Structure 1
């Protein structure tokens, strides 16, 4: 079974959804699932926000108070904790995810897409790493098993893997993806959002039938 996942590493529900899916997959025999990560940008217009924390950034973007933003983030962090994830929004560095997506596309050519996604998610939500910083991206890419020179080549050539990212985003629009995470199973069934484990298990059983 092929499972395609449209995701953005700046999306807190995408990391939660990844864990929910993994928990569901653990209930089935191994080696029958092929997972392909697809690029998606929740906000391609984001620029580095010097000194601005995520609470202020979201409050300004959504037209809400700082307290409302903090409460919203607190709720998301609690939900993440329920699936074993540790979100540190106090440390999060706002950045555009395009460079990271291009490196994920490189990782996919080495069958390291899942490893790269996990490392980037943890770096952003737990460790407070800056995913627009070149040396950080090189370090994290090497941690996933990528070659340093190949990562450097991607970072130095802004066109490398750009079409792959754009193709994923266009494909998402064509099949009606409104938000991420979005999971497609053998192009027959789809799940939108970080649904409970049971929802994934039920869908997997339906497709396997």
Structure 2
């Protein structure tokens, strides 16, 4: 059984949640479980160069970002609560982050560690990253710090960060999490079920017991990618949808469903020239596609080509009155 932890490494509840999951697994008597880390960003606007956290904690944008990190993570009043909980979970040392760090590269390091040594090595790197940020006061956006953390955990991939290692995988996983509805750090996902927040170990065991009984139907990777791209379009993220569609366009560029989904993303992202070309090809290949005619008409109208647009809009309405 695979347990995914969707979390940000600067979220204190991710560290506490990790400890509580470990306690839950000690009493777990079900099938063997492996834990994998997946990226989530609570503060995606954090600058590339870290800032002292005490200088930015009163920034309303930072405060808002922290609301997606478990319960009550922002104000000073919670610092003592979190530090006490951390101590109760066996996290030793003086608690308190020093840096507002951009965690994109730290997530890349976790991806590289998983590729190198599987979930066990990845979890060892995650533990050291969390401790470095919350206890040791180190800057986990700094490549030298990240490389040293990787080496300490037994990973030799830290040097690949400067060459962009793991970047595409992290960006795809962030989009996957968004498409799947992940909106809190941490979120535990097992067999399509999710549990949000750093819950009590007993509740985690109940969750694992219920999730273990599920056997969701496994879909081909291409179908999953299409489904997630559709979800991103519904969330008004057409550029994210296009990023997920790149491999499908490369490998299945003649597939009509892939081409139409890409055309929708072009239209939604105001790439009207690309949308028009894609839709004109679709209409040429299949004149009976009412939706392609509708979207082509709307694209032409947005380009100011009303005379060219009207025949497609009328034809779409005749072919499918629901599109009128």
Provide the C-alpha distance between the structure 1 equivalents of 2:32 and 2:142, rounded to a whole number of angstroms. 37
Q: Confirm or deny: 8 A CA contact 1:55 1:73 kept in the other structure.
A: no
Q: TM-score, normalised by structure 2?
A: 0.57
Provide the C-alpha distance between the structure 1 equivalents of 2:191 and 2:19, rounded to a whole number of angstroms. 20
In the TM superposition, residue 177 of structure 1 has moved relative to its aligned partner by 1.2
Residues paired across the two proteins, number: 197
In the TM superposition, residue 33 of structure 1 has moved relative to its aligned partner by 0.4
Residue 118 (1) aligns with residue 134 (2): no
In the TM superposition, residue 31 of structure 1 has moved relative to its aligned partner by 7.2
Q: Confirm or deny: 8 A CA contact 2:50 2:102 kept in the other structure.
A: no
Matches within 5 A, 1:33-44: 33-44=33-44
Residues 78/56 of structure 1: CA separation in 2 closer, same or farther (3 Å cut) = farther
User: What does residue 176 of structure 1 align with?
Assistant: 181
Provide the C-alpha distance between the structure 2 equivalents of 1:12 and 1:99, rounded to a whole number of angstroms. 18
Where in structure 1 do 4 or more consecutive aligned residues deviate above 4 Å? none
Relative contact order higher in (CA < 8 Å, ≥ 6 apart): 1
Q: Confirm or deny: 8 A CA contact 2:190 2:212 kept in the other structure.
A: no
Residues 69/55 of structure 1: CA separation in 2 closer, same or farther (3 Å cut) = farther
Provide the C-alpha distance between the structure 2 equivalents of 1:4 and 1:49, rounded to a whole number of angstroms. 28
Provide the C-alpha distance between the structure 2 equivalents of 1:55 and 1:84, rounded to a whole number of angstroms. 25
Residues 208/132 of structure 1: CA separation in 2 closer, same or farther (3 Å cut) = closer
Structure 1, gaps ≥5 residues long = none
Residue 80 (1) aligns with residue 89 (2): no
In the TM superposition, residue 44 of structure 1 has moved relative to its aligned partner by 1.7
User: What does residue 160 of structure 2 align with?
Assistant: 153
Q: Confirm or deny: 8 A CA contact 1:104 1:116 kept in the other structure.
A: yes
Instruction: Answer with 1 or 2: which has the greater Rg.
Output: 2
More helix by share: 2
Provide the C-alpha distance between the structure 1 equivalents of 2:23 and 2:172, rounded to a whole number of angstroms. 29
Q: TM-score, normalised by structure 1?
A: 0.86
Provide the C-alpha distance between the structure 1 equivalents of 2:160 and 2:125, rounded to a whole number of angstroms. 17
User: What does residue 205 of structure 2 align with?
Assistant: 201
In the TM superposition, residue 34 of structure 1 has moved relative to its aligned partner by 1.8
User: What does residue 131 of structure 1 align with?
Assistant: 140
